[in-house]
Amino acid sequence: MKYSSQKVAYAYFVAALGLFAIQVLGGLLAGWIYVSPNFLSELLPFNIVRMLHTNALVVWLLLGFFGAAYFIIPEESEREIHSVKLAYIQLIILVVGTLGAVVSYLFGIHEGREFLEQPLWVKVGILVAALIFLFNISMTVLKGRKTAITNILVIGLWALSLLWLFAFYNPDNLSLDKMYWWYVIHLWVEGTWELVMASILGFLMLKLTGVDREVIEKWLYIIVATALFSGILGTGHHYYWIGTPGYWQWIGSIFSTLEVIPFFLMMTFSFVMVWKGRKNHPNKAALLWSLGSATVAFFGAGVWGFLHTLHGVNFYSHGTQITAAHGHLAFFGAYVALNLAVFTYAMPMLKARSPYNQVLNMASFWLMTGGMSFMTFVLTFAGTIQTHMQRVVGEDFMSVQDQLTVFYIMRFGAGAAVVLGALLFIYSVLVPRKELFTESTGSTPEAKAVLEGGR
């Protein structure tokens, strides 16, 4: 670690991991309710559990992005963070807001738009935190060295923060509500977040493979160009059936098909960089997570997204378990695995250790990725049957659901594997203290490489 202010990232990562645990446990509970629907039905109904599951996910991913930015930007800009104090204040606001939201959900206090259920004061808190963050990183970047990695990262973070403003706009007209709601939801995960993902992936490749910066940065601009060229009009694939004009069926089908390209490029980019790179970085687990993220994102977001994005297909599959299958693998591959990659890369430096417990960490990768893939397959089968019986044959929703029980049991098993993997990951990056070393004793080439971020 070259700059002491990078240490801020540690607090962000720990907070993110705490919420990660809440998220997967909430998911496991929701999966169990599918199997045994009377469980807790009066005390903690499904809708509350699901809010905890989705909201915890979004907030921990954002905390991870913020932490990653605080870790990456000093190294890229070659200077300390503008204000460490502001960075901690920002984190406190986010943690208080998140805990406040969790408690108020448990008491049934929430707003009612999917994923944007946070009470107004929490929404305002998120906005204030985002503004502090933007000020802090922009000041750092403006005074320091400018690179494509920081440029794309900062553009992505600015754009996602500005789009958050649409969370405050809730028109009385349901169709308008839905149209602008996607400005936050779609333009985050299929637009601005891809910029953040690409830049973090670029940074990891730069450090882990040692490939020339010029090469990496050119790739990055091509990747993010294809992401926005396809993703902005790709919003149209959400505008098929909500009261928006019919022309979106063509625009949405064409441009969201092209949304596969940036994910294909990110996967290709990662593997080409590893093949080209001659550096043998000791942090193998970080490399596994980076390559895994790019690969699973291609399948989850790219392939499973394309599976139901053409309007002729979506007419039948919209809002079935097919959507759930895609949502789970896409989020896991693109954003969960990427965050875990950057945690795995940074933690040894933040804690001044050699890249410890690679085996446990790598085992957690296979547990989580295996579990998530299995979950995606069984939900895809469930969704295919549901689509046919409910949408083609016209059988009643609940009687179709009753026939899908076997898939929900398998999904619960897959979810249990993911939870085990997640807890193992948290343990492996936080707890074991073997191979602890300090600046003075850490004189081996490996220790040097870790402390200096592989340079």
133 to 172: interface string for another protein, x by CB under 8 A: ---------------x-----------------------x
Query: According to the binding rule CB under 8 A, does residue 104 interact with another protein?
Result: no
299 to 328: interface string for another protein, x by CB under 8 A: ----------------xx-xxxx-xx----
- What three-state secondary structure class fits 436? strand
Give, in degrees to the nearest 5, the angle at Cα 144 between 142 and 147: 90
CB of 202 to another protein, least distance (A): 12
Candidates 60, 66, 133, 239: give the one binding another protein (CB under 8 A).
239
Residues 107-136 that bind another protein (CB under 8 A): 110-114, 117
Residues 24-63 that bind another protein (CB under 8 A): 33-34, 36-38, 41-42, 45-48, 50-51
Give, in degrees to the nearest 5, the angle at Cα 269 between 357 and 283: 15
Rg (CA), the chain: 22
Of 219-227, 293-301, 344-352, 370-378, the segment contacting another protein by CB under 8 A is: 219-227
Q: Which is nearer to another protein, 48 or 201 (CB)?
A: 48
Query: According to the binding rule CB under 8 A, does residue 381 interact with another protein?
Result: no
Q: Which is nearer to another protein, 215 or 363 (CB)?
A: 215
User: Dihedrals φ, ψ of 242, to 5°?
Assistant: -115, 15
Which of 261, 201, 202 is CA-nearest to residue 231?
261
Q: Could you tell me if 79 and 144 are in contact, meaning their C-beta atoms sit under 8 angstroms apart?
A: yes
Query: According to the binding rule CB under 8 A, does residue 392 interact with another protein?
Result: yes
- Identity at 258, one-letter amino acid code: L
CB of 300 to another protein, least distance (A): 18
* Reduced 3-state DSSP string for 358-382: HHHHHHHHHHHHHHHHHHHHHHHHH
Of 88-96, 119-127, 214-222, 302-310, the segment contacting another protein by CB under 8 A is: 214-222
Q: Which is nearer to another protein, 221 or 374 (CB)?
A: 221
Distance CA 355, CA 357 (A): 7
CB of 230 to another protein, least distance (A): 9
Residues 343-372 that bind another protein (CB under 8 A): none
Distance CA 290, CA 287 (A): 5
CB of 108 to another protein, least distance (A): 8
Residues 177-196 that bind another protein (CB under 8 A): 177-179
Query: According to the binding rule CB under 8 A, does residue 249 interact with another protein?
Result: yes
User: Dihedrals φ, ψ of 211, to 5°?
Assistant: -70, 150
Query: According to the binding rule CB under 8 A, does residue 214 interact with another protein?
Result: yes
Q: Which residues contact 301 (CB under 8 A, 6 or more apart)?
A: 190, 259, 263, 326, 329, 330, 333, 334
User: Dihedrals φ, ψ of 280, to 5°?
Assistant: -110, 80
CB of 281 to another protein, least distance (A): 24
Of 68-76, 104-112, 282-290, 301-309, the segment contacting another protein by CB under 8 A is: 104-112
Question: Within 13 A of 277's CA, how many CA atoms are on the CB side?
Answer: 23
Q: Could you tell me if 193 and 185 are in contact, meaning their C-beta atoms sit under 8 angstroms apart?
A: no
Distance CA 199, CA 203 (A): 6
Q: Which is nearer to another protein, 178 or 207 (CB)?
A: 178
Count of residues that bind another protein according to CB under 8 A: 69
Q: Could you tell me if 85 and 136 are in contact, meaning their C-beta atoms sit under 8 angstroms apart?
A: no
Q: Could you tell me if 275 and 311 are in contact, meaning their C-beta atoms sit under 8 angstroms apart?
A: no
Distance CA 417, CA 368 (A): 6
User: Dihedrals φ, ψ of 353, to 5°?
Assistant: -130, 165
Candidates 391, 420, 427, 442: give the one binding another protein (CB under 8 A).
391
- Identity at 291, one-letter amino acid code: L
Alpha carbon of 425 to those of 11, 65, 219, 417: distances in Å? 17, 18, 31, 12
Q: Which is nearer to another protein, 220 or 347 (CB)?
A: 220
Candidates 257, 358, 384, 401: give the one binding another protein (CB under 8 A).
401
Candidates 92, 146, 397, 444: give the one binding another protein (CB under 8 A).
397
Binding site for another protein (CB under 8 A): 33-34, 36-38, 41-42, 45-48, 50-51, 110-114, 117, 148, 172-179, 214, 217-218, 221-222, 224-225, 228-229, 232-233, 235, 238-246, 248-249, 251, 315-316, 318-321, 323-324, 390-392, 394-398, 401
